[in-house]
Chain A
């Protein structure tokens, strides 16, 4: 794995036998994830990969503290998670920008909610706006941006809040293939620039291979479970069609009946 130092990696997040069942219309019980156990190391880039509707978003929301598991628990730095907190930043599947706020105000919001003084706020926000390459668009409203730019705002907004863990829920699912590829490169660049623990959810195996230190495969029907793990020990920056990457891709797709 690509760790900065030779020392033992520190355990950042630990999911212990997490299960969640939703009660849907007509009192129907839908088990969404079952007995998911997962360890994430500090500054690791973990990709959770699985097909649509297998409980990926639910798992991420449980780690974020937005949903409470029925059984099991999640710890962050050894402390059990009881609710959402600014130590975990989230990038949502469908952008979820505030249409009534400019790019700058969107990025600043987390700091504003925690009463960071205005000039300090601007400085931090500007740093992350620059980092995602949106300089010059600070005063635009979200509807004036393209899909890729919107998701950059989402990423900058999460980063600006200085979380130690970044949770990304299929952030590029709505983008065209070309923009998607470009955003993957950007994500890898940003991650290397500002190391965080990242849990990145996707349904796309190529995206997973390009980004991950480690890939966790989730099974394709409810309730979702963690099936297998693959360590992606390839040098960065990676190439989508490098031989080593394609070899690993074949190994993964051969060992699963999932179409990813």
Chain B
């Protein structure tokens, strides 16, 4: 019996070939490196030729700026202090939004009454860009942490809720029939089908929310703040230091990438069945 099975199994083994020139040139990692090197060379060339006058710093100067920031305090904070200030706001806002929006989205999809009550309000606020809340947030909560976190919550809320909602909506209905045929109840359908099936969609929503959260923290910090990566960028602009602006941008990208990896790891832990899809 089991030898019959063997030819049905998917073969994962890779064939090992010799290193030919064609294989090197078409190697994914090689092309990745080429693409990055070309980009930095082009950047350096454009900066050196002063095509944007003195508003574009050269890559190495930006790197030096970041290294300098590590060793000195800037506006009363070390570089880690600034990075943490922004990250903390993002994480708190993102967490609050996720904890409210994901269950709400699931409930909306499961219960038509909840949907009928929440949907019109949600549709009213959904098209409003989160940045539009910046001013009103300052009026309500002052210029402290609360207003910044508030904007992040608003921004992260929408993708979390939408994806949880759609995740449940798109579950293959026949899977519920399987539970019924096996003798399961409505509760079994929710716990064995509905929730796990919508998990990947929920996580896709969390990833989008996280990147919105970083956009929001930047908007909030650019408007008013005394610490954070947005603050560094604003300072760079005010004192006309392109190295600081670009350094801040790179650091935000790095911090956002790290938090997104964190959510990715959490997803792998919680959904081990998910086929790994290559990130673009």
Contact of B271 among A86, A96, A100, A148 (CB under 8 A): A100
Interchain CA distance A143-B2 in the complex, whole Å: 19
CB–CB B8/A146 < 8 A: yes
The digit string for A36-67, where 1 denotes a CB below 8 A from any CB of B, is: 00000000000000000000000001001110
Asked if A80 is an interface residue, CB under 8 A from chain B, the answer is no
Contacts of A83 in B (CB 8 A): 180
How far is the CB of B190 from the nearest CB of chain A, in Å?
13
Chain B interface SS verdict (over half) = helix
How far is the CB of B70 from the nearest CB of chain A, in Å?
44
Asked if A6 is an interface residue, CB under 8 A from chain B, the answer is no
The digit string for A166-193, where 1 denotes a CB below 8 A from any CB of B, is: 0000000000000100100000000000
Asked if B172 is an interface residue, CB under 8 A from chain A, the answer is yes
Contact of A66 among B172, B177, B188 (CB under 8 A): B177
Contacts of B95 in A (CB 8 A): none
CB–CB B192/A96 < 8 A: no
Interchain CA distance A90-B178 in the complex, whole Å: 8
Contacts of B10 in A (CB 8 A): 144-146
Indicate whether A88 sits within 8 Å of B174 (C-beta atoms), given known contacts A100-B196, A146-B8. no
Indicate whether A113 sits within 8 Å of B179 (C-beta atoms), given known contacts A98-B196, A144-B10. yes
CB–CB B182/A161 < 8 A: yes
CB–CB A110/B182 < 8 A: yes
Chain A interface SS verdict (over half) = loop
Which chain A residue shows the least CB distance to B184? A113
Contact of A148 among B1, B8, B196, B273 (CB under 8 A): B8
Contact of A98 among B2, B181, B192 (CB under 8 A): B192
Comparing A24-32, A134-142, A244-252, the segment that makes contact with chain B is: A134-142
CB–CB A66/B180 < 8 A: yes
Asked if A84 is an interface residue, CB under 8 A from chain B, the answer is yes
User: How many chain B residues touch A (Cβ–Cβ < 8 Å)?
Assistant: 29
Contact of B8 among A84, A142, A149 (CB under 8 A): A149
User: How many chain A residues touch B (Cβ–Cβ < 8 Å)?
Assistant: 39
CB–CB A109/B175 < 8 A: no
CB–CB B183/A94 < 8 A: no
Q: Most chain-A Cβ atoms within 10 A of its Cβ — which of B5, B180, B193, B199?
A: B5
Contacts of A109 in B (CB 8 A): 179, 182, 192
Asked if B20 is an interface residue, CB under 8 A from chain A, the answer is no
Interchain CA distance A114-B5 in the complex, whole Å: 31
Contacts of A142 in B (CB 8 A): 273
Asked if A230 is an interface residue, CB under 8 A from chain B, the answer is no
CB–CB B2/A86 < 8 A: no
Indicate whether A149 sits within 8 Å of B5 (C-beta atoms), given known contacts A96-B175, A141-B273. yes
CB–CB A92/B4 < 8 A: no
Contacts of A179 in B (CB 8 A): 8
Indicate whether A84 sits within 8 Å of B180 (C-beta atoms), given known contacts A134-B5, A135-B2, A146-B8. yes
Contact of B183 among A99, A148, A161 (CB under 8 A): A161
CB–CB B183/A86 < 8 A: yes
CB–CB B273/A100 < 8 A: yes
CB–CB A136/B199 < 8 A: no
Contact of A92 among B174, B179, B275 (CB under 8 A): B174
Indicate whether A113 sits within 8 Å of B193 (C-beta atoms), given known contacts A133-B2, A143-B273, A148-B8. no
How far is the CB of A173 from the nearest CB of chain B, in Å?
14
Q: Most chain-A Cβ atoms within 10 A of its Cβ — which of B174, B182, B185?
A: B182
Contacts of A61 in B (CB 8 A): 177
The digit string for B2-26, where 1 denotes a CB below 8 A from any CB of A, is: 1011001110000000000000000
Asked if A9 is an interface residue, CB under 8 A from chain B, the answer is no
Contacts of A182 in B (CB 8 A): 4
The digit string for A100-139, where 1 denotes a CB below 8 A from any CB of B, is: 1100000001100110000000000000000001111100
Asked if B197 is an interface residue, CB under 8 A from chain A, the answer is yes
Contacts of A146 in B (CB 8 A): 8-10
Interchain CA distance A148-B174 in the complex, whole Å: 20
Contacts of A85 in B (CB 8 A): 183
Q: List 24 A-B contacts (CB under 8 A).
A: A61-B177, A85-B183, A86-B181, A90-B177, A92-B177, A96-B177, A96-B178, A99-B273, A100-B273, A109-B179, A110-B182, A113-B179, A113-B182, A133-B4, A135-B2, A136-B2, A136-B5, A141-B273, A143-B275, A148-B8, A149-B5, A161-B182, A161-B183, A179-B8
Residues in chain B within 8 A of chain A (CB atoms)? 1-2, 4-5, 8-10, 172, 174-175, 177-185, 188, 192-193, 196-197, 199, 271-273, 275
Given contacts A94-B174, A114-B183, A148-B8, 5 further A-B contacts (CB under 8 A): A92-B177, A113-B185, A113-B192, A133-B5, A143-B275
Residues in chain A within 8 A of chain B (CB atoms)? 61, 64-66, 83-86, 88-90, 92, 94, 96, 98-101, 109-110, 113-114, 133-137, 141-146, 148-149, 157, 161, 179, 182
